[in-house]
Structure 1
Amino acid sequence: MSEVILLQSPPPKLEEVQKKIFSVGALEFLANLHKEFDEDIDQLYKNRRKRSVELHTSFKLDFKKSPERLDRSWTIAPLPFRLQNRHLDLGDVSASNTAHFESALNTNVQGIQVDFDDGHCPTWRNQLLAFQNIYLAVNGKLHGAPLSISTCPVLMLRPRAWNMIEHNILIDGKEAIGPLVDFAILMYHNAKKLYEANSGPYFYLSKLEGAGEAKLWNNIFIWAQHQLGIPQGTIKACVLIENIISTFEMEEILYALREHSLGLNCGIWDYCASIISKFGSRREFLLPDRNKYVNMDRHFLSSYMRLVIATCHARAAPATGGMAAATLRPGADAADKESKEVINKILDAKLKEIEAGVDGFMVYDSRVVPHVNELWNKNGSTPNQISKQLTVQITAEDLLTIPSGGVTLQGLRHNVAVSIMFIYHWLAGIGHFFYNGNVEDSATAEISRTQIWQWIRFAPFLEDDPKKQVTAKLVEKAAASFSAHAHKNLCRSNAERKRLTAARYMSIELFLARNPPEFITSYLNDNHKFRTLHNKALLSNL
């Protein structure tokens, strides 16, 4: 057996949980998974670096004329009964938050995005709690949750993306791969029970860059099903199209996963951030104020959504829209005036997606679920809209032409605030937070910090003050002003004040970087500040 070392001692009161989650059998399964795919994953990272250089030196992105794209006869494998209606999922549900997870399991939705990625912070404690709560739920032992997993919404397990390393586990002297750790532990402890209950295992796959990475996941699925003795094709996975490269390879992605596919999903903010990451050093890709000028009505994003829907439906696959991030005030009654305005705004946006042909989407706030269900009852007489075939002629220009519009001081301040607050909460071990009536996670932090970086780079003039340009000094002033406000109204302890100061300066570092990291979660996960805060035991204690 390969040598597996856990670099963390269990947190207080979680000693038995760690022992059970990382049992001898689980560690062996995890080690064998890494051994089987280690070279393939190293090649994945090499391919990403090579592609990044190519895109920065010789811009060229277009649709392939691949055999799978030219062959119009194939479709994905038929979906099991529980996946034929995916009208509504709850999004950003970190199972490490036990109360939120229990509440989600009792909500009248089809699925729950059980998130180890955008809305989750992977501290060792959070990982253990999430794995444990999912295991308890699957086995009908989670207090306050239904006794049978077959009566709950389906668990759509979302492992970390490929950019995330698990620094707390060494396998044969190498740090483990975050998504492989999540996948291995979730599969080892839950796959058979989910299969027996006709409830999975089902997954969301984040931040894929093209069909080659989808094929790698498919190979992992085949290997895992064989190792665990469950039928091939049992695993189903929905790929989030939140990277500009994947938009040009959707046919090939569906084909690569065709025996395990659960269609594709739209992720607007990660998608926009990926455009800046890949091409943002060119002025023609200067993205305007996202709150004012970037939404699904804009041509480049409506083209993206229509292409997702058309591609999926042509291959008998469901197409999933984005998540409604708006939330009601804490304790608010859904019937009060302010709540009604929020709900109506959500319903208006989601009706447009239904009319475009999506088969489902996500919301965060469970209080809006009855209203969204009623929207589907009025506008979705069938479990899905796969029969709604779209004929589209989407070009690379349609997807890559950035909308016109400027930068506002309010938009700049908002992006600065979201960036600082995401890092502040991440350092506290929390993967999402609430700000100005929305849930914010790594996706919104990603677009916020990349926009600020890009605006500093090109120094556009402000719409509300045409004589003033975006500069590093203006951004630093906005960061200082927001931090002073948060220091007064948010921080209650010296530790919180220190964390806020760290978040401010880490944000500035990202805004001013000559070559910014592609993913804010990688930057934070690899950062000594975060690792020091959440590492309670290191090798010296083994």
Structure 2
Amino acid sequence: MELSPPPSGLEAEHAALFTTASLHFLHELISTFDDEVDQILGLRVSRKVHLDLSGDLPDFLESTAHIRTDPTWKVLPVPQRLRKRHVDIGDMAPCDTQRFIRALQSSAQGIQVDFDDGNCPTFYNQIKGIHNVIQAVNNQIPGVPDISQAPVLMLRPRALNMVEDNMMVEGKETPGPLFDFGLLMFHCGKKLFEHKSGPFFYLSKVESFMEARLWNKIFVWTQQKLGLPLGSIKATVLIENVLASFEMEEIVYELREHSAGLNCGIWDYSASFVNKFGHRQAFLLPDRSKYVNMEKRFLHSYMDLLVQTCHRRGALATGGMAAALLPQDMHADARTKVLANVTRLKLLEIAAGVDGFMVYDLNLLKPMQDLFQKHTDGDNQLHVLRDDVKVTPKDLLVMPSGGVTLHGLKYNIAVGVLFISAWLSGKGHFFYRGQVEDSATAEISRSQVWQWIRHQAHLEDDGSLVSRRLVTELTQELRRELRRSCSSARTEQTLDTAADMFLEVVLKRRFPEFITSYLSQDHTFLNAQRAGQEETRPQPAKL
């Protein structure tokens, strides 16, 4: 095993995380499951190639029909602390110490402790974030409630497509999720279990029940190694991929001893349509700012099916995150409008039967908690079985009608460029036009621009073509506009690099599967994440 030395300023945290015992545990975990992670990623590629060559569309699996038609199986009941999570805080990158502390002190029922969508996985951020979680679990942060009383921590490691290049095991970079999960479990698992507050996880970007099966094996192995009872770990799977929506029941089944349910969200899920079918004209996704929302058939069908699937098996179903930022002025019209819009969208989720959802802005906690309590009865909505739901493959695959607008094109370009700029600066999210934007919104933004160029879409405004030339011109226009507010030459350089990289991504012949994978494997990111460290960096130490 080879481990990079600590980032400057985190020497003590590095030493606390990477003890002889934790490194031994990580080595065992990673060497045991590394090949299976590679196999899963290979299966994803194989499945995509099959869809491309055959022209087939996904369907509910015949081979697993017996699981779906068997009414007798249920998940193990979730622990008490998971039964009432009306409003969680989402996109909580724990390396942001002050925001993490405010979240722990808040009235939220849970916190999505995010090493994935809302986090930029520099070595500094991972070490700082994991160390902050350890301190919170061990009640070492002044002014924060005991872990048994604070909002429950829902730990979200990186998705399977991400790697940790600062640790090599048996000659290979470490899978990012195993690095995050292993350190969190080794340092926090027992303590969370003893305080009846975990260990609880989110699993990102799962595409099939085979991936859920792998995670279940990882959970069983980890519990045995750490002396925890079977079923101690509970996990909520984020259904962020269209292929996974056809296997939701099988995913819950594979994790039935460890399942905390499923979660639905709009933007990663919508982007997955471009990922899997974007080269097909029939799957041209219209302007998301105008035509894509949870009221559209393909999205409300997916949410209805998710709630029905979970509740018939005794599992919890949670909705997405409200990304809006609430204006501070209590009497401002803008505040009233934002609150009304968030309320309308969250009422749709409550009506669908979700057991909770997330907000980014802590100021939305109380109004959304009040909303949930006003329109529901009890800790959750597990009693809402949604027997009325009859979702077909067509319901899940039909694209909403609508076109492309200049506003939508400019908005997508801005989100894509600004996300890459934030990422190169070591941040996983940023604020733009009254909302928080993260890798999920960057994913749908760059996906749509790529697809509109690919299919030579026309703007509703004047009929002009969405072309390579137009996108390049609009990106350069945005670059000039943003440079006016740059505070330093370095900021300008980062912005210029981000604009160039955005164009590279959206003009590629082949669609890069994940923007985060693309960025994390690019030399500009690897250089940027080392910013602030000493210029002459020693070679990785062999352990």
Matches within 5 A, 1:22-171: 22-58=18-54, 59-65=56-62, 66=64, 67-146=66-145, 148-171=146-169
Q: Matches of 1:187 and 1:175 in 2, distance apart?
A: 20
Q: Secondary structure at the match of 1:181?
A: helix
Q: Matches of 1:223 and 1:84 in 2, distance apart?
A: 26
TM-score (ref. length: structure 1): 0.97
Q: Matches of 1:441 and 1:350 in 2, distance apart?
A: 20
Q: Deviations over 1:189-208 (max 9, x none)?
A: 00011001100000000000
Instruction: State whether residues 2 and 540 of structure 2, in contact with CA within 8 Å, keep that contact through their aligned partners in structure 1.
Output: no
Q: Matches of 1:399 and 1:523 in 2, distance apart?
A: 28
2:380 maps to: 384
Q: Secondary structure at the match of 2:314?
A: coil
Instruction: State whether residues 419 and 507 of structure 1, in contact with CA within 8 Å, keep that contact through their aligned partners in structure 2.
Output: yes
Unaligned runs of 5+ in 2: none
Q: Deviations over 1:316-337 (max 9, x none)?
A: 11110111011124xx234432
Q: Matches of 1:130 and 1:515 in 2, distance apart?
A: 34
1:178 maps to: 176
Q: Matches of 1:335 and 1:126 in 2, distance apart?
A: 38
Q: Matches of 1:345 and 1:28 in 2, distance apart?
A: 50
Matches within 5 A, 1:195-234: 195-234=193-232
1:346 maps to: 342
Matches within 5 A, 1:433-448: 433-448=430-445
Instruction: State whether residues 324 and 361 of structure 2, in contact with CA within 8 Å, keep that contact through their aligned partners in structure 1.
Output: yes
Q: Secondary structure at the match of 2:89?
A: strand
Q: Deviations over 1:8-38 (max 9, x none)?
A: x212221111011111111111110011112
Instruction: State whether residues 334 and 367 of structure 1, in contact with CA within 8 Å, keep that contact through their aligned partners in structure 2.
Output: no
392-401 or 175-184, which moves further after superposition?
392-401
Instruction: State whether residues 203 and 238 of structure 1, in contact with CA within 8 Å, keep that contact through their aligned partners in structure 2.
Output: yes
1:525 to 493, 503, 520: 520
2:317 maps to: 319
> How much has 1:60 moved relative to structure 2?
2.9
Q: Matches of 1:86 and 1:227 in 2, distance apart?
A: 30
Instruction: State whether residues 323 and 361 of structure 1, in contact with CA within 8 Å, keep that contact through their aligned partners in structure 2.
Output: yes
Q: Secondary structure at the match of 2:174?
A: strand
Q: Matches of 1:226 and 1:120 in 2, distance apart?
A: 30
Q: Secondary structure at the match of 1:151?
A: coil
Instruction: State whether residues 280 and 286 of structure 1, in contact with CA within 8 Å, keep that contact through their aligned partners in structure 2.
Output: yes
1:336 maps to: 332
> How much has 1:538 moved relative to structure 2?
5.6
1:303 to 301, 304, 307: 301
2:428 maps to: 431
63-72 or 293-302, which moves further after superposition?
63-72
1:499 maps to: 494
291-300 or 334-343, which moves further after superposition?
334-343
Instruction: State whether residues 48 and 276 of structure 2, in contact with CA within 8 Å, keep that contact through their aligned partners in structure 1.
Output: yes
Q: Matches of 2:218 and 2:338 in 1, distance apart?
A: 42
> How much has 1:273 moved relative to structure 2?
0.6
Q: Matches of 2:180 and 2:540 in 1, distance apart?
A: 25
2:473 maps to: 477
Q: Matches of 1:335 and 1:56 in 2, distance apart?
A: 53
Q: Secondary structure at the match of 2:218?
A: helix
Structure 2 counterpart of 1:207, which letter?
A: K
Instruction: State whether residues 289 and 405 of structure 1, in contact with CA within 8 Å, keep that contact through their aligned partners in structure 2.
Output: yes
2:13 maps to: 17
Structure 2 counterpart of 1:437, which letter?
A: G
Instruction: State whether residues 34 and 175 of structure 2, in contact with CA within 8 Å, keep that contact through their aligned partners in structure 1.
Output: no
Q: Matches of 2:101 and 2:12 in 1, distance apart?
A: 21
Q: Matches of 1:509 and 1:534 in 2, distance apart?
A: 20
Q: Matches of 2:293 and 2:207 in 1, distance apart?
A: 23
> How much has 1:312 moved relative to structure 2?
0.6
Structure 2 counterpart of 1:28, which letter?
A: H
Structure 1 counterpart of 2:100, which letter?
A: F
Instruction: State whether residues 517 and 523 of structure 1, in contact with CA within 8 Å, keep that contact through their aligned partners in structure 2.
Output: yes
Q: Matches of 2:366 and 2:52 in 1, distance apart?
A: 47
Q: Secondary structure at the match of 2:539?
A: helix
Q: Secondary structure at the match of 2:474?
A: helix
Instruction: State whether residues 426 and 528 of structure 2, in contact with CA within 8 Å, keep that contact through their aligned partners in structure 1.
Output: no
> How much has 1:471 moved relative to structure 2?
0.7
The alignment of Structure 1 onto Structure 2 pairs a total of residues equal to 533
Q: Secondary structure at the match of 1:362?
A: strand
Unaligned runs of 5+ in 1: none
Aligned-CA RMSD value: 1.1
Q: Matches of 1:250 and 1:377 in 2, distance apart?
A: 28
1:409 maps to: 406
Structure 1: 4+ residue segments shifted above 6 A: none
2:453 equivalent to 1:456: yes
Q: Matches of 2:432 and 2:35 in 1, distance apart?
A: 42
